[in-house]
Structure 1
Amino acid sequence: MKIAIFTDTFDPDINGVARTLKRFTDYLSEQNISFKIFAPKSQSDDYVTSHIHRFKSLSFFLYPECRLAFPNLSQVKSELQDFAPDLIHVATPFNIGLCGAYYAKKLNIPLVGSYHTDFDHYLQFYNMEFLSKLLWRYMNWFHRPFKKIFVPSKDTLEKLKRHRFTNLELWGRGVDCNLYHPHYGKKAVRKQYDIQKKYLLTYVGRLAPEKDVKTLLAIAKSIPANINEQIQWLIIGDGPMRDELEAEAPENMKFTGYLRGGNLAEVYSASDVFVFPSPTETFGNVVLEALASGTPVIAANAGGVKHIIQEGVTGHLCQPGDVQQFTDSLMHLLAHDQVRGRMGIEGRNYAITQKWDAIFDQLLWHYAHVIEEPKQQKFA
């Protein structure tokens, strides 16, 4: 099997799409499956390999980590013909994704895609709801030729069904439980970030409107003073709202920028509670990483996240934007050490069952079915 992947974001970009695709291509390498990636040049092209073709690009205003590239069409066609893929997988609906869909049709290559980002939900956070109908019209047109559309959660699948998408399949997410685990040295993390307070609360993600980080700030400010003086927040991530948040943040909130690998895993492990108010997640990789680290999660009861958290067992789900409900849930967990400990164990137990290899094996099964379908039709 030979696979061509067209995506407008890839490693070293830090977002769920790029990380998932990097994990997938690592798996393909381990399985000795040939692949070629067509992706934009990022701001820091540390990932160099013959498997990838990069294009000049600019940041997309709604989602700077997803870039608008300018592919050389004749060059793409030549590389595709030389590589002769059995299947094209398009991961994003921008320029490179359009290029992949175009050449799948032109060269008669089976086409599948994946739906990762709820751009329609983003619009309300940028006062652009008036574009919703136009966006869905485009999304329907763009995805119509795909033999399969892989979605990360039941919530996304049901939403796309309501918008008359077809050929939908679940493609969940796993977690590396060897990297993310509860057994890192918590004292070392506290020393590194000079944490003197009793409790460590964390958030991981983009600092952008669609993540509802304003609610996160409101939660931090609504905690009673006698409890608040025992709390240290670590805000891990970056984005367009970082300067504004830092200016408004209480004294017990530190901003680290993005962390990766072991540095990120250590902070998850040392945290008492992970707080994630984003209502726009199609999955919520960071939530699963926190659970794998033995850390209970308080999150918005929305999107893919609501299918990861088991209410009262591995964490709490709150009405999106409801500062009081988030605060009450947080206060309850901080007041009950045994409940937090039990939730941490249950979260870890759940995360262990979410294995990347099994998820990717299932994806390859779907690939094989799509590839074989024209041959079966030919000889029917």
Structure 2
Amino acid sequence: MDATDIRLALFTGNYNYVRDGANQALNRLVGFLLAQGASVRVYSPRVEKPAFPSVGKVVGVPAIPLPGRAEYRAPIGIPRRVRKDIREFAPNIFHVASPEILGHRAVTLARKMDRPVVASVHTRFETYPRYYGMAFLEPLMEAALRRFYRRCDAIFAPSESMAQLLREQRMNYDVGIWSRGVERDVFDPARRDLDWRRALGIGDDEVTVGFVGRLVMEKGLDVFSETIDRLRQRGVKHRVLVVGEGPAGDWFARRLPDDAVFAGFQRGEDLGRAVASMDILFNPSVTETFGNVTLEAMAAGLPVVAAIATGSSSLVDDGVTGRLVRPGAINRFAEAIQFYCEDHAARQAAGAAGRAASARYGWDEVNGALLDAYLRIVRHRQAGGRASNRLPLR
């Protein structure tokens, strides 16, 4: 059995209508699988003006705007026409990428069709309520996620730190790694552009503390802004450079100093230039399961100051490629950033170490590992095996 025997049905709540690290990884995966001769069908909400072209055949599923976050769509199930398409496609493995209604229905359908189903974990949904004043919901969300992931034959985390957390949460017996890759030709120190910085009003000798990502509260915008406040109180010379856009953009702009620079949404080589033109990346988020922006900054030769959290703790070598700080520890974040702001040699050394470490993450290698896992799981099912995930719920 090889890649040409794989017939994959992929279900995701967002394949390409809003750009994020998760759906870009999914599109890369589909492109890789098709290039290896596998057959793939994607089931996801579709919109008239997606954020980027999709890879592979996409079948639209019904969805409604997500309350409070209308830019996202909430799939509301698998209608008869889609079920008919799935049966005609005849997948031998299902992959669900988001634990919402579509994902639940896909797992149920996989069981009815006696097909193995795997899930990839892209974000820590159980942590989201804390950013909207509803932290009391976290245990309930964790329990709901456990019931969802325990119905799958296997689940895949993008980092060992996230995989270990999933094991501790008893989400599934079979927890594998589907890491992420980085385009080292795009994210390269050589793309640093002083003219671009000058056009934004940033001086050649000004140390920039960068933020990259969607401007939403769960990315730790409150911790970022409070840390910048602390740097100003300490008299640390720096500029803030924000790359990204999102619904919390206005709030973030009000909380940051007046001289903070908002470069807006960047992509491709423009994003590579923007990241390389920073001096330090500050990533206080605890919701990522991997942290694409962290790896991209490392590839671009930046020291990274990040929260000790899933993803970052697997990427950042504390004291070598950057600093890892307890989540929410504003003074410690400020101390770490101040160190790199004031020590050019330390910035250079950490950036060079990060660039070297990023060489371990190639897209073909990480997607090839997931393909091998698909083959293992399909062979196991065809041989009469079943998932070994009957752990007691707690």
Query: Do they superpose with TM above 0.5?
Result: yes
State the distance in 1 between where 2:286 and 2:298 align. Answer: 18
AA in 2 matched with 1:90: V
State the distance in 2 between where 1:320 and 1:133 align. Answer: 19
**How much does 1:227 deviate?**
5.3
AA in 1 matched with 2:209: L
Distance 1:29 1:340, change over 3 A: same
The answer to whether structure 1 residue 212 and structure 2 residue 220 are counterparts is yes
Find the partner of 1:184 among 181, 191, 194: 191
Find the partner of 1:295 among 296, 302, 306: 302
Find the partner of 1:372 among 373, 379, 387: 379
Find the partner of 1:305 among 312, 330, 333: 312
* Unaligned 5+ runs, structure 1: none
Asked whether the 8 Å contact 1:42–1:57 carries over to 2, the reply is: no
**How much does 1:226 deviate?**
8.8
The answer to whether structure 1 residue 243 and structure 2 residue 250 are counterparts is yes
State the distance in 2 between where 1:247 and 1:140 align. Answer: 38
Give 2:275's aligned residue: 268
The within-5 A match list for 1:30-109 is 30-42=35-47, 44-45=49-50, 46-47=52-53, 51-61=57-67, 66-109=72-115
**How much does 1:142 deviate?**
1.6
Asked whether the 8 Å contact 1:116–1:282 carries over to 2, the reply is: yes
**How much does 1:185 deviate?**
4.4
Give 2:231's aligned residue: 223
Asked whether the 8 Å contact 1:90–1:114 carries over to 2, the reply is: yes
Distance 1:49 1:310, change over 3 A: closer
State the distance in 1 between where 2:186 and 2:17 align. Answer: 18
AA in 1 matched with 2:336: S
Find the partner of 1:156 among 152, 162, 168: 162
State the distance in 2 between where 1:167 and 1:49 align. Answer: 28
The answer to whether structure 1 residue 200 and structure 2 residue 205 are counterparts is no
Give 1:348's aligned residue: 355
**How much does 1:349 deviate?**
0.5
Per-residue CA distance 1:174-217 (angstroms, 9 max, x = gap):
21112211111422321342322622221012222222211111
Structure 2 counterpart SS, 1:287: helix
Structure 2 counterpart SS, 1:317: strand
State the distance in 1 between where 2:94 and 2:260 align. Answer: 45
AA in 2 matched with 1:374: R
Find the partner of 2:336 among 325, 329, 336: 329
Distance 1:306 1:150, change over 3 A: same
**How much does 1:5 deviate?**
0.4
Distance 1:257 1:300, change over 3 A: same
Per-residue CA distance 1:43-82 (angstroms, 9 max, x = gap):
7324256601123433434766653023452111111122
Distance 1:337 1:43, change over 3 A: farther
AA in 2 matched with 1:3: L
**How much does 1:253 deviate?**
0.8
Structure 2 counterpart SS, 1:303: coil
Per-residue CA distance 1:281-326 (angstroms, 9 max, x = gap):
2111100000011111111112221111001110011121122111
The answer to whether structure 1 residue 11 and structure 2 residue 16 are counterparts is yes
**How much does 1:156 deviate?**
2.2
State the distance in 2 between where 1:319 and 1:210 align. Answer: 16
Deviates more, 1:323-332 or 1:281-290: 323-332
Give 2:135's aligned residue: 129
Per-residue CA distance 1:264-293 (angstroms, 9 max, x = gap):
110111111111111222111100000011
Distance 1:241 1:50, change over 3 A: closer
Structure 2 counterpart SS, 1:250: coil
Give 2:120's aligned residue: 114
Give 2:178's aligned residue: 171
**How much does 1:257 deviate?**
2.7
Deviates more, 1:8-17 or 1:81-90: 8-17
Asked whether the 8 Å contact 1:125–1:209 carries over to 2, the reply is: yes
Provide the aligned length of Structure 1 versus Structure 2: 377
Give the alignment's Cα RMSD to 1 decimal: 2.1
State the distance in 1 between where 2:117 and 2:201 align. Answer: 51
State the distance in 2 between where 1:49 and 1:292 align. Answer: 25
Deviates more, 1:210-219 or 1:26-35: 26-35
AA in 1 matched with 2:91: P
AA in 1 matched with 2:74: L
Question: Percent identity over the alignment?
Answer: 28
**How much does 1:225 deviate?**
6.9
Distance 1:43 1:155, change over 3 A: farther
Give 1:145's aligned residue: 151
State the distance in 2 between where 1:189 and 1:122 align. Answer: 35
State the distance in 1 between where 2:56 and 2:341 align. Answer: 50
Asked whether the 8 Å contact 1:12–1:18 carries over to 2, the reply is: no
AA in 2 matched with 1:148: A
